[in-house]
Structure 1
Amino acid sequence: MQDIRLVALDLDGTVFNDKKEITPRTLAAIRNAVARGVAVLPATGRTASGIPAAFTSIPGVRYALTSNGASVVDLQTGQQLVKQPFATADALKIYDILARNGGMMSIFIGGKSYTTRENAVHHMDVVPENLREYFRTTRVEVEDMPATLQAHAHEIEKYSMLYHNEAERDAAWRAVQQACPDMELTSSLPGNMEINAPGVTKGSGLLALAAHLGLRREQTMAVGDSGNDRAMIEAAGLGVAMGNATDDIKEIADATTDDNNHDGVAKAIEKYVL
């Protein structure tokens, strides 16, 4: 058994079941790992403010990897341990491309997510129903997105886009790839596109945190189910795919556990950590 000391867990489709709950068995596994001195953290495309308290309130959960690795924060002190924003010029260029191609845009800045009031009022239909409450409660609405962007262009963590269908998403994806081929493009659900700065992934965030904690790559484990988990699963000493993961994630993982509705995270922790 590997000496796993750092466990990074994706949220939607991984820690949370389809009802957006952490089951008792999964909660117990996380608590038991923390009690043994293992750092267990959410590793998410969400902002720090968007991580459900059901996870962050677990005693001993101290760190959070957010915005697909652009930021890692110490939940106890509020200190940002890892900071990987876009270069200013890239942030502005990406915005111009996205604005021309439609879709519902959210911009992640300093642990918060910003969208326009128009998006929040008129375009919630592109948000999956089980995520609408999360969007409504975590998005900061602004009247003038270009002004917000100009004021914070040096600290943009991530762009998150939602489209009505995958054809619209794919067209925007190609536009970004053609103009900015070095950007990190991922997707966590149908019709979604997430953009980070070159080299910024959940994997880079995980390894940066491990280095900060004085841990080796071999002492890390990552569990996930979708495209924005790929780099993290590849980077970790032990990469675990959920049973409900996409086929490409299962192919690159070191191991596969059960799905998110049957305690897949709990079973992985029990097998490889406890």
Structure 2
Amino acid sequence: MAPPLAVDIDGTLSRPDRSIDPRIIDALGSWPAPVIIATGKALPFPVALAQYSGLEPMVVAENGGIAVAEDTLQVHGDRAAADAVAEAYQRQGHDLGFGKLDLANRWRETEIAVSRESPLEPLEAIAAEHGLEVVDSEYAYHVKSPDVSKGEAFEALAANLEFDPGTALAVGDSPNDVSLFEVAGTGVAVANATADAKDAADIVTSGSYADGFLEALNTVL
């Protein structure tokens, strides 16, 4: 029997250029157990990926700040506090780094994302002053509540879906996936994962990006 699956998007289901590898659409849609897409992206992105893969949207977004499953929306983060950090950061002369339109933050509800090309040290200092933390997903800096994580949101969804998160398979590549590995029964880091993600995982694949994800599924099955 296949286990429930929790999987990251960027660096895990993607290719190096961040485009989605088309092979994962069928792999996700045919997985014979619940599939939860767990990402640092804003909610519309994993919801769209789930729907285009033929799945009911069961997602953890914004690093655990918001989650959806079976017509239930769970909100765990604090966008107002993150906005205050962003405003203070900009007053110091720094830029969030995503341009005037800022599609990275347009639909975020519980956190703020900052480009990794923007300075990290002042961002961390301001976040700490507001009781928040900064997590590096390797694709952006995320200003979020310290008590929010992918792992905690996944546990909450698992309770709602009535399965034991300790039976699940989790696949990821970044520091924000470590909490997911700690909750899941088996954590798999793809070969391009960061050192801390690999250290927290039970298995490290030989393949990178989507190749590693497909390798993980084949290994489990």
User: TM class by shorter-chain length?
Assistant: 0.7 to 0.9
> Structure 2 vs 1, CA of residues 103 and 87 (structure 1 numbering), >3 Å: closer, same or farther?
closer
Residue in structure 1 matched with residue 95 of structure 2 by the alignment: 103
Residue in structure 1 matched with residue 34 of structure 2 by the alignment: 39
Identity of matched residues, %: 24
Superposed CA deviations along residues 14-69 of structure 1, whole A, max 9, x for unmatched, are 01112412242x33432331xx2x11122111112233845431123431111111
Residue in structure 2 matched with residue 172 of structure 1 by the alignment: 123
Q: Which one has the bigger strand percentage? A: 1
8 A Cα contact 1:14 1:225, kept in partner: yes
Shift, 1:157, TM fit? 0.6
Provide structure 2 residue ranges, at least 5 long, that are not aligned to the other structure.
none
Matched, 1:189 2:180: no
> Structure 2 vs 1, CA of residues 222 and 261 (structure 1 numbering), >3 Å: closer, same or farther?
closer
> Structure 2 vs 1, CA of residues 18 and 271 (structure 1 numbering), >3 Å: closer, same or farther?
same
* 1:1-274 equivalence runs, <5 A: 5-19=3-17, 20-24=19-23, 26-33=24-31, 36=32, 38-51=33-46, 53-74=48-69, 79-86=71-78, 90-91=81-82, 93-101=84-92, 102-104=94-96, 119-120=99-100, 136=103, 140=106, 156-165=109-118, 168-177=119-128, 179-180=129-130, 183-189=132-138, 192-261=140-209, 263-272=211-220, 274=221
The count of aligned residue pairs is 219
SS of match in other structure, 1:104? coil
Provide structure 1 residue ranges, at least 5 long, that are not aligned to the other structure.
107-118, 122-134, 142-154
8 A Cα contact 2:64 2:152, kept in partner: yes
8 A Cα contact 2:50 2:58, kept in partner: no
Superposed CA deviations along residues 54-94 of structure 1, whole A, max 9, x for unmatched, are 543112343111111111123xx6x3432112285x44653
Q: Which one has the bigger helix percentage? A: 1
Shift, 1:5, TM fit? 3.5
> Structure 2 vs 1, CA of residues 185 and 219 (structure 1 numbering), >3 Å: closer, same or farther?
same
SS of match in other structure, 1:29? helix
Letter in 2 for 1:30: L
> Structure 2 vs 1, CA of residues 245 and 69 (structure 1 numbering), >3 Å: closer, same or farther?
same
Counterpart-to-counterpart distance in 1, 2:144 and 2:135: 9
8 A Cα contact 1:188 1:227, kept in partner: yes
TM value normalised by structure 1: 0.69
Shift, 1:269, TM fit? 1.5
TM value normalised by structure 2: 0.83
Letter in 1 for 2:89: L
Counterpart-to-counterpart distance in 2, 1:203 and 1:215: 15
